[in-house]
Amino acid sequence: MRELTYSKALREALTEEMARNPDILLLGEDIGVYGGVFKVTEGLLDRFGPERVIETPISEAGFVGASVGLAMTGKHPVVELMFMDFAYVAADSIFNQAAKMRYMSGGRAHVPLLIRTQQGGGRGNAAQHSQSLETFFTHIPGLKVVLPSTPYDAKGLLKSALRDPNPVVFIEHKLLYNTKGPVPEEEYFVPLGQADVKRTGKDATVVSWSRTVLHALEAAELAAREGIDVEVIDLRCTVPLDINTVLTSVKKTGRLVVAHEAHRRAGVGAEIASLVQERAFDYLDAPIERVGAMDIPIPYSKPLEDEALPGVQHIVRAIKRAAYA
């Protein structure tokens, strides 16, 4: 099977769906001539023209608000937020309008809006450009939240998101764009809300998503050298949440580690830990372990950033604590 980078897999999904559906429009800063800050939309302006690949001013509140209106009147806008951190600027349009309009209209108004954005640290972009904010969107009813970890999932999930009639927040990690993986040439879809067992094991379960899945897989290999057989589950989406796949794994292994790059305090990992405690307490042989970023602004300094963000060794230590409890 051919290999594509994460960014090319996303571009291929956008290209295929834009060719299929003329109502799909792209809006965002520098997405046309420049091809996007991470080059995902490179070449799409030449192919689809400026009426469908729309360069916007630096005003997230403006173009996200306009996109909500476009979605309600029959278009399917795809908004690119250059950095996830800028979602705060458009918070009312996302949280109070896009997420709630279908409910408040009794189903008469639909908002098929897709927000593509990226998050995460590791590049020395400092506190205002390195946050992982999936928890905010997960907390708001009416939004679907997608966080692919591989090129295969990135393309398949994006195609599914572009055929969903609901507002979807599609979160990419800035350090995944150059990663490579197998992507079929034939059309395929990855359903929203279906977790994936990336590695099978019997001694402990690690649940993760986005870039931290790669750390979890590496940690599982290191733990295997010490005789600990780890199962790694890629959640893929926090909404819809596939808790059943997690429960099935925990009932088999008896131990759970939840790892994510977002701050540990009140993160999605805490919700998963609570659900497992509520529904599978009798199967647990050790306390649930949570791995996340320190509860501080993400530092600019590389050594401090490395310390603040969770890495492979943080997950290995959590696996050992669970396994040897």
Q: Which two tokens stand for residue 322?
A: 């669970």
Q: Which residues on adjacent β-strands are paired with residue 27? A: 54, 79
Of the residues 17, 60, 289, 305, only one is catalytic, namely 60
129 catalytic? Reply is yes
Query: Dihedral of the CA atoms 152, 153, 155, 159 (nearest 10)?
Result: 140
Backbone angles phi, psi at 107, to 5 degrees: 85, 0
Instruction: Of 114, 45, 38, give the one whose Cα is nearest residue 83.
Output: 38
CA distance 273 to 107: 33
Instruction: Of 146, 140, 139, give the one whose Cα is nearest residue 160.
Output: 146
289 catalytic? Reply is no
Of the residues 12, 17, 80, 129, only one is catalytic, namely 129
Run of H or E including 237: strand 237-239
Q: Pairing relation of β-strands 144-146 and 168-173? A: parallel
Active-site residues, by number, are: 60, 129
